[in-house]
Amino acid sequence: MTLLVTGGAGFIGANFVLDWLASSDEPVINLDKLTYAGNPETLASLQGDARHRLVQGDIGDSALVSRLLAEHRPRAVLNFAAESHVDRSIHGPGEFIETNVVGTFRLLESVRGHWSALPEAEQAAFRFLHVSTDEVYGSLAKEDPAFTEHHRYEPNSPYSASKAASDHLVRAWHHTYGLPVLTTNCSNNYGPYHFPEKLIPLMIVNALAGKPLPVYGDGMQIRDWLYVKDHCSAIRRVLQAGRVGETYNVGGWNEKPNIEIVQTICRLLDEMRPKAQGSYASQITHVTDRPGHDRRYAIDARKLEAELGWTPAETFETGIRKTVTWYLDNPEWVQHVQSGAYRDWVNKHYNAS
Residues taking part in catalysis? 134-135, 159
| Complex with ligand NAD: residue 31 or 268, whichever CB lies closer | 31
Spell out where 173-220 has E strands: 181-186, 188-190, 213-216
Strand segments, DSSP code E, in the chain are: 3-6, 28-32, 52-56, 76-79, 127-133, 181-186, 188-190, 213-216, 222-227, 247-250, 255-257, 284-287
Which does residue 215 bind out of ligand TYD, ligand NAD, none, counting CB within 5 to 8 angstroms by kind?
Answer: ligand TYD
Q: Which of 82, 146, 169, 324 binds ligand NAD (CB under 6 A)?
A: 82
Residues 252-291 as x/- pattern, contact with ligand TYD by CB under 6 A: ------x-------------------------------x-
Does 187 bind ligand TYD (CB under 6 A)? Our answer is: no
Residues 6+ apart with CB under 8 A from 331: none
Output the DSSP codes for 231-256.
Answer: HHHHHHHHHHHPPTT-EEEE--S-EE
Which position among 103, 214, 251, 319 is part of the footprint of ligand TYD (CB under 6 A)?
214
Rg (CA), the chain: 20
202 binding ligand TYD? (CB under 6 A): yes
State phi, psi for 215 to the nearest 5 degrees. Answer: -95, 125
Positive or negative torsion for Cα 59, 60, 66, 67: negative
Contact of residue 186 among ligand TYD, ligand NAD, none (CB under 5-8 Å per partner type): ligand NAD
Residue numbers 20-79 binding ligand TYD by CB under 6 A: none
215: contact with ligand TYD by CB under 6 A: yes
Rounded to 5 degrees, what angle do the CA atoms 280, 284, 286 make?
180
CB of 188 to ligand TYD, least distance (A): 5
Residues that bind ligand NAD (CB under 6 A): 6-7, 9-13, 31-35, 37-38, 58-60, 80-84, 99, 103, 131-133, 163, 186, 188-189, 195
Residues that bind ligand TYD (CB under 6 A): 86, 188, 198-199, 202, 214-216, 221, 223, 258, 290
